[in-house]
Structure 1
Amino acid sequence: MSEVTTEHLSPEAGKPSRRRELITFFILAFGIWPIVAVGVVGGYGFLVWMFQIVYGPPGPPGH
């Protein structure tokens, strides 16, 4: 078996650049997470809507 060594790599090879980190942050902060948030809230609203279709709206029972 051969051992993995990092001697042949430059010191900067394992570190992501600040520019790349900022790009990744902005993609996550303004792209992916808003889509995930809308999906979660929409999914919850859909579940509540389906529950109310099956069991009726909340409140006291009708007379």
Structure 2
Amino acid sequence: MQAGQPGKRRELILFLFITVVLFPLLSVLIVGGYGFAVWIYQMIAGPPGPPVQ
């Protein structure tokens, strides 16, 4: 076994963790958080559209 192998294996595991777990989870949380913020804003300010006269 070469001296660089443990570092490469750890790097591969970290890369797979980031691409398979971390980024999808972050994207779901960001999109869900934005949707929740818009929902709360519309509860306070009302739905979008022309003003009611």
TM-score for the superposition, normalised by structure 2: 0.80
For structure 2, the 5+ residue unaligned runs are none
Q: 2:34 aligns with which of 36, 41, 44?
A: 44
Matches within 5 A, 1:1-63: 17-63=7-53
User: Cα offset for 1:49?
Assistant: 0.3
More relative contact order in 1 or in 2 (CA 8 Å, sep 6+)? Answer: 2
For structure 1, the 5+ residue unaligned runs are 1-12
Deviation per residue, 1:16-38 (Å, 9 max, x gap): 62111011000011101111110
Larger radius of gyration: 1
| Structure with more helix by fraction | 2
| RMSD after superposition | 1.8
TM-score for the superposition, normalised by structure 1: 0.69
* Matched length: 50
